[in-house]
Structure formats: C-alpha cells, structure tokens
Amino acid sequence: MISTRYVIKRLVLLIPVLFGVATLVFSILHLSPGNPATVIATQQADAAEIQRIEERLGLDDPIWVQYVRFMVEVVQFDLGESWVHNKGEPVTDILRWKFPITLQLAVLGQIAGIVFGIPIGIISAVKQDTITDHISRIGALTGISVPIFWSGPLIILLFAVHLDWFPTNGLLSNGPLPKITGVLLIDSIIKGDIVMFVDAAWHLFLPSMVIGIYSMALISRMMRSSMLEVVRQDYIRTARAKGQGEKITLLKHGLRNALIPVVTVIGIQFGSLLGGAVLTETVFNIRGIGMLLVDAITDGDYPVVQGIVLLFAVVFTMVNLFVDLTYTYLDPRIEQ
Amino acid sequence: MSTETASTTHEDRGFLDRLLASPFLSDLLSNRLAILGLSLILLITLMGVLTRLAVFVGVLDFGTILDTQFAQPRKHPPCGNPTITGWLGSVGSCQHPFGTDAQRRDVFLRTMYGAWLALKYGTVTVAASTVLGVGLGTLAAYYGGWLDNVVMRTMDVLLSFPSLLLALAVVAIFGTGLWKAVIALTLVYTPRFARVVRGAALKVLEDEYVDATVALGARDWRVIVRHVLPNSLAPITVQSTLNFGLAVIDLAALSFLGFGATAGTPSWGWMLTKGVENGLINGLWWMSFFPGLFLALTVLGFNLLGDGMRDALDPRMQDAVD
Amino acid sequence: MAPDTGLAAPVRRLATAAAAGVAVGLVAVGGLTLDGTLRGATETTFAFGALALGVGLLGWSGSVMAGRGIENMQRYMDTGSDWTESDSRRAMTRIIGFGVGVMFAASLATALL
C-alpha cells in the first residue's frame, strides 16, 4: 500500500514548486509597469514621501538583493502586508479566513460534478449514438459553452428572485461568520448550530451547482471517451467472448480502467475550478479568495496577489498528490 | 495511426481536391451536430457583418449603439412588457424587441453589434495564437533535439496553468483593456496550437516522400511551406475552431471581471456585466439576458463544429463499439 | 532523487545552459541600456531571467510530480504523444540553467558598472 515515505517524498517537492512560483511572482512584480510606492502612497504624497516608501520597501537596493530578501521572507511564510485592501493587515491573516470559503465552494462544486458527470458519461458511452447519448453530449457541450457569469445571474433570477427558494447572495442570512476552522459547514457542526448549518447549505447550494455544471460537463465528456476507448481494448472483447453479460463486463473490467484518465483530468482541471470560483464568487457576491484576487489585481495590491498565487500552487500540488494516491488504489499494477 | 493516409498526399493534386476527396468532409457533413454548429456560426457572422455594414454605410446611426449621453436613464422593457412570457407574445411588432438599457440604448442593436466585436477580437486572438503556435510547433518538429524538447516542455508548463488565472497574471503585467486581454489570451492559447502543429508536422516529416525532397536539396522553409503546413491544416483548423469558442467566452469573462472592455463598448461581456449590475435582480432581465444568450450560442456553435471536426479527423472514436 | 546514471550529464546540461544565459543576459543588459538607464536594464533582464527560472522550477517539479500520472493517462488513452518524464526534466534543467545565467549576468552588471 501507500508508504509514508512516498507521501513525504512528494511533499518535499512542494519546496521547488513554491520556490518556482515565488520566483515567477517576483518577475511579474518587476516586469509590470508602475511604481509600487505610488500604489501605497496617498494621493497627495510628494516626491519625498514616495522616496521614503521606496526606501522602506527596499526598492532602491540592487535587484538581486531584493530577490534574495524576497525569497528569505517567503521561506519564513512572511507574505508581507496588504498595500491597499485593509492596508497594513498581514496577508497570511487575510488568506487564513478567505481561503476556506473558496475551498468549500470548489470542493462542493467538484463533488457535484463527479456525482453527476461520471454516471452521465458512462450512460452516454454504453448507449453510444442513441438519442440518450446525443442529449447528454449536447448537454455537456452546452454546459461548457454557457458562461458562468451568464447562467449564474439567470439562476439567481429564477430560483432566488422569482421562485424565492434560495437566497440571492452571501453566505449567511444574518450574523457574522463563526471563525473556528473557516469552513462554514464544519464550523456550524462544531458549534452544534443546526439552524446555521441549514442556512449555510441553503446559501451554498446555487453557487456550488453553478460551478458543478461546468465540472460535470468536462467530466462526463472525458468519462464517455475514456469508456469507449477501454471498451475497444482487447481484454474486454476476450471477456465478452467468454460469455459474460454485456453490462457486467463493462462494469467489472471497463469502469476501473476508464476511471484512471478521468481521475487525472479531475486533478488537472481542479485549477480551472479555482478559475471558475473567481467568476462564481463575483456573481454571488461571496467574499472569498476569488473576489479578493480580482480586487487585488485591480488595485495593484501585489503582496495579496502573490499570497493568493502561492496558495493556489500549494492547493494544486496537494490535489495532484491526492490524485496520485487514487491511482494506486485504482490500479495496483502501478508500482511506486 | 496508419501511415497510408499520409503517404497518399502528393503535391500534384491541389489541396482542395484532396480535401474534397477525403472522407473528412463527408464525415463532417453527415454529422448533424456539426451542421447545427456551423449554422449557428454563419447566423452570428451574418448578424455581426450586416450590422457593421449598416453602421459603415450610415443606415444605422452609430450613436444609438454607443451613445452614453442620455441625461435621464429610463429603462425600457422589451416591447413594453416586463415579463418573459409577455415578451414572447409581442416580439416582432415593436420598436425595441430586446428593450433598452440603463442609458436608453437599444439592446437589440447593441447585441447585433456585439456579434461583430466578438468575431473581430476572437479572430485576432485565434489568428495570433495560430501563427505563433504554428511557428513554434513546426520549428520544434523540424529541428528536433534539445530545441524541440525545451520549446515543447515549456508549452506544457504553460498548459498546466488554469487558463483564466494565467490570463489574469498576464493582465497584471500588461494592464487592462480589450486589446491587452487579446494579448493575454494569445499567450494562453499558443501552447495548444504548438502542441497540435508539432504532432501533425512530425507525422508528415516521418513520411518518406519528405525525406526524398530533402535529399534532393529542398530548403528547410520550402519543405515546411510546401509539405508540412498543407498536411497539418486539418488539425490546425480543428484547434482554431475549438479555441474560437474559448476565446469568445474568455474575452467576455475578462470583461466581466473588469479587465477587458470598457464603458460604452457594446461587447457582450461588458453588456452582461452592466446588465447584471443595473438590476437583473430587480426584474430588468433583458439587459443581460440577450447579450449572454448570443454569447452562449456563439460558443456552442464553435464547440459543436469543433467537436464534429475532431470526430471526423479521428474516425476510430466513432467505431469504438462494434 | 538523483538518477542512477550519475550527476555528470545534468550538471553539464545545467552549465551549458547557464553559460548561454550569461551571454544572453549581458547582451540584453547592453541592448536595453542603450534604450534607457542601466538600472532599468538590469532590473528588466533580471526579471526575465527570474521568469525562466520560475517556469523551469515549476516544470521540473511538475514533471516529477505528475509525470507518472500523465504517462499512465497516455498509455491508457493511446494518444500517441511521446511525452516522458525524463525528457521533460531534461528540458527544465536547461531552462533553469538559462534563467540562473541571465539573472547572474544582470547581477554582475549591477555589481561591476
């Protein structure tokens, strides 16, 4: 089975990943036009004031000194302070409470995508070229083609405004978020507050569905082609020739093998799910990492942008580690 | 992949002849979904081009599309009826079939003009990334070795970033605006083209016929232009088609987040954003509904056609279950 | 994580690429200085070097990390692509070397001039 040593080895790889991402952020920061000092300074700041800020940030040092200092700070998890958004607040503190909101949304969306996408893909493959197949393929293509920022508002209009089944935006009807873990659904369970749990789930339903539709479309397409590919392979024919029933053959041999590429795709597209979360948060006015990122880029708040990018890299790495472990379960032949 | 298909391509037959003789076209035309996609694209193109022409020759006043000067915003529902069912009943017999927006501009005309903008910026994005991708891909395939490896593996790294987040990073460097968004998306899409072109080019280069040409002393660029490019055309076209849909949707997404189109531009992404801001929730649905609908239809059209083309190129997917 | 074949080949690859990077970096600093200030030139050159280093590092760790998954996916999907983990790592070593070389050249220019 999966050895601890293997997992540790993979976690060690996080170091070059973070080093690489931090280096990229550094280069973006220095390639982008504009003087950071003017972003921080107030409108009326004079040249002397701007120079003082430059000195404080070390912008007058040789560039390699700036690079080394930047790297040392990142290694110590010192992501600096926000320049604009809640000026002066440490970036790590901001991310600490914003991230669980986005993670919760992305995971719920992913779950919805998997739960609906895999069965649809299988049915589509089994009933290839029938009307069922056509409908699910058009459905999947439509899911990819319809922009979240259009379907989102329309879903709000229909289910939240006209039918009034769901709230239009936000995370809770009233009261501040309980800050225990930051994941609202878990926090409300810890607090033993059933009313809050239901309220949170009620608020999260529409946004997760909107993310889920996109994910479902991708997964069902991949599942369909993967399933067809596996069915084509020899051992299924052999199994069929031996006289096993069609459906049992498919499920017993096909499914497990067909899932392997699908799992890879799920891991790789988790990144686009985060991209989808940026749009969904904007549509549903959920103040998570996505809205924070958009605001930070608009305002030139680079410490925050950098913090978010580093965080995304960690999440992406962890998801792919998880995907890797899933392989070992799906196909024990893959040696470690 | 059999090499038979590649080796039947001789230069004495024109490209068009080859295309018409290949099963690709008939496969594509027998695919109903692809035809549906093609019809959608033609419809949208017609819409955009006609509106642009109407403005150009002066039949249509550009002011009614762009003008932001109306002092008193008076939002007009489509055909004076604010409900969706009511609209369905009265469409076609009124002055503003899609209603007016917060600045009292006609949403129908703006949506039509938006088709032109979507096609224009989409074409530039796709064309630019096609050219870059073809350059990098053929270079990598033709010269091989470490150059191939370095170019293609860098493309892989770029491909592994989520496209919207990568585009946002580029926007952070270059700044905002529709043309900047086009640059960002060009960089995001180039790796896909490079990968497809390299694959296709390698297949052509493996062909003995090209070896013979090279032995006869043909120059590098001659081999590339006369043999490699014509034979890579089909996969490039498929990729362009699929990416056109993506380009249209991603440009709109960047506009939606505030990094693309700016005030006044009748681009679908911007109209959608403004429509949502100006009160979708208050029941003023038409301002964002129509631009979004045409955006979705355009993207769907390109995706349907692209999918059909890919199936026609790779027929083994069709007879997968016998 | 070192391959059994020894370190000689990767080190040589890294060194060649770094040397190329230093050359390109010096030329870039020179060229950009003609068009602006030396400080601006070194900053831009250094930033571009950092861009290459960043991409290289991400690509290297990415191929080590996801390499097995991608190779497997290709085996199952029979996509006919010739991606391999070792090729990818080799390419990334070159890019890392090049980036470090450019950064070094830019730093050298700041220190000397």
Query: Is the complex ipTM more than 0.85?
Result: no
A303 contacts A80 by C-beta, under 8 angstroms: yes
Cα(A147)–Cα(B299) distance, integer angstroms: 9
Q: What gap in Å lies between CA B20 and CA B126, rounded to an integer? A: 25
Residue ranges in chain A whose pLDDT is less than 70: 1-3, 33-45, 56-58, 85-86, 173-177, 232-253, 328, 331-336
pLDDT at residue number B132:
93
Does B199 reach chain C within 8 Å, measured CB to CB?
yes
Domain boundaries, chain A: 4-75, 92-334
Best mutation target among A31, A157, A159, A221 (most B Cβ atoms within 10 Å) is A157
Instruction: State whether A260 and C62 contact (CB < 8 Å).
Output: no
The answer to whether residues B162 and A271 touch, using CB atoms and an 8 Å cutoff, is yes
Beta-carbon separation of B164 and A278 below 8 A: yes
Residue B186 forms contact with A (CB below 8 Å): no
Phi first, then psi: give them for residue A173, nearest 5 degrees.
-65, -45
Name the minimum distance, in Å, from the CA of A119 to any CA of chain B.
18
Q: Which residues from C are below 8 Å from B when comparing CB atoms?
A: 55, 58-59, 62-63, 66, 80-81, 83, 87-88, 90-92, 94-95
Which of C1, C32, C48, C76 has the highest number of chain A CBs within 10 A, making it the mutation to test binding with A? C76
- Separation between Cα atoms, residue B66 and residue B61, nearest integer Å: 9
The whole-angstrom separation of Cα B120 and Cα A9 is 49
Are B150 and C55 within 8 A, CB to CB? no
Q: A118: Cβ–Cβ under 8 A, 6 or more apart, which residues?
A: A219, A220, A223, A259, A262
* Total residue count of chain C as it appears in this document: 113
Chain B, residues 35-94, CB within 8 A of chain A, namely none
* 3-state helix, strand and coil shares in percent for chain A, rounded to the nearest 5: 75, 0, 25
A vs B, Cβ pairs < 8 A, gives 119
- Write the DSSP symbol of residue B177: S
CATH code of residue B158:
1.10.3720.10
CATH 2.40.420.20 for the A92-334 domain, yes or no: no
Q: Which of B137, B237, B255, B238 is nearest to B185 (CA)?
A: B255
**Residue B1, in any domain of the structure:** no
Judged by CB atoms closer than 8 Å, whether chains meet at B164 and A279 is answered as yes
pLDDT in tens, chain B (322 residues): 344 444 444 444 555 666 666 666 666 666 777 888 888 899 988 888 888 887 777 666 666 555 544 433 445 555 555 555 555 544 445 666 666 666 666 777 788 888 888 888 899 999 999 999 988 988 888 887 778 878 887 887 777 777 788 888 788 777 778 888 888 899 888 988 888 888 888 877 777 666 666 666 666 677 777 777 777 787 888 888 888 988 998 888 888 888 877 766 778 887 777 777 766 666 667 777 888 888 989 998 998 888 888 777 764 443 333 2
DSSP codes joined into one string, C2-25: --TT-SHHHHHHHHHHHHHHHHHH
Burial class (CB in 10 A: 0-12, 13-18, 19+), A328: middle
Could you tell me which residues of chain A have a Cβ less than 8 Å from any Cβ in chain B?
Answer: 28, 31-33, 128, 134, 137-138, 141-142, 144-147, 149-150, 153-154, 156-157, 160-161, 168, 225, 228-229, 231-232, 268, 271-272, 274-276, 278-279, 282-283, 293-294, 297-298, 305, 309, 312
Residue B320 has its nearest CB partner, among A228, A279, A312, at A228
> B157 vs C59: CB contact, 8 Å cut-off?
yes
* Token pair belonging to B38: 């093609």
A150:B257 CB<8 A = no
3 state SS of C95: helix
B216 interfaces chain C, CB cutoff of 8 Å: no
> What count of other Cβ atoms lies within 10 Å of the Cβ of residue A15?
12
Distance from CA of B111 to the nearest CA of A (A): 14
Domain ranges of chain C: 15-112
Nearest to A84 by CA among A38, A33, A48, A52: A38
Nearest CA distance, B122 vs chain C (angstrom) = 28
d(CA B278, CA A146): 21
Span between the terminal Cα atoms of chain C, in Å: 40
- At A8 the pLDDT is 80
Nearest one of A146, A109, A297 to B292, comparing CA atoms: A146
Rounded CA-CA distance A230/A245 in Å is 17
Q: Where are the beta strands (DSSP E) in B28-133?
A: none
| CB-based burial, B295-309: b 16+ in 10 Å, e otherwise | bbbbbbbbbbbbbbb
Q: Shortest Cα distance from A74 to chain C (angstroms)?
A: 14
Please report the beta strands in B147-291, taking only residues with DSSP state E, as ranges in sequence order: none
- Closest-CA distance of chain B to residue A193, Å: 31
In contact, A199 and A101? CB cutoff 8 Å? no
| Chain C hits for A327, Cβ within 8 Å | 68-69, 72
Instruction: With respect to residue B137, please indicate whether it lies within any of the assigned structural domains.
Output: yes
Roughly what angle, to the nearest 10 degrees, separates helices A194-232 and A270-284?
A: 140
Residues linked to residue A81 through DSSP beta bridges, in sequence order: A90
Does the model's pTM come out above 0.90? no
* Residue in this structure with the two tokens 């960002």, named with its chain if needed: B184
Report chain C residues whose CB lies below 8 A from the CB of A63. Answer: 42-43, 46-47, 106-107, 110
CB C102 within 8 A of CB C48: yes
| Nearest Cα residue in chain A from C64 | A13
User: What is the pLDDT tens value at each position of chain C, 113 positions in all?
Assistant: 444 455 677 788 888 888 888 888 888 877 777 777 777 788 888 888 888 898 888 888 877 776 666 665 555 544 445 667 777 788 888 888 898 888 888 888 877 76
B243 within domain boundaries: yes
Strand pairing partners for A234? none
- List Cα–Cα distances, A285 to A84, A102, A149, A289, C46, in angstroms: 20, 12, 12, 12, 39
Inter-CA distances, A292 with A177, B39, C56, Å:
17, 41, 28
Residue B100 φ then ψ, to 5°:
-125, 160
Q: What is the distance between the alpha carbons of residues B197 and B217, in angstroms, rounded to a whole number?
A: 24
Chain A residues whose C-beta is within 8 A of a chain C C-beta are 9-10, 13, 16-17, 19-28, 30-31, 62-64, 67, 226, 229-230, 257, 260-261, 264, 267-268, 317, 320-321, 323-324, 327, 331, 334
Subunits touching C (CB < 8 Å, at least 3 pairs)?
A, B
Is the CB of residue B260 less than 8 Å away from at least one CB of chain A? no
User: Which residues 137-166 in chain B show a CB within 8 A of chain C?
Assistant: 146, 149-150, 152-154, 156-158, 160
Spatial contact of C96 and C60, defined as CB atoms under 8 Å apart: yes
Q: How far is CA B155 from the centre of its chain?
A: 20
CA distance A28 to A39: 16
B149: Cβ contacts below 8 Å, ≥ 6 apart: C87, C88, C90, C91, C94
Listed residue (A164, A192, A168, A163) closest to A178, CA to CA: A192
Give the number of domains in chain B. Answer: 1
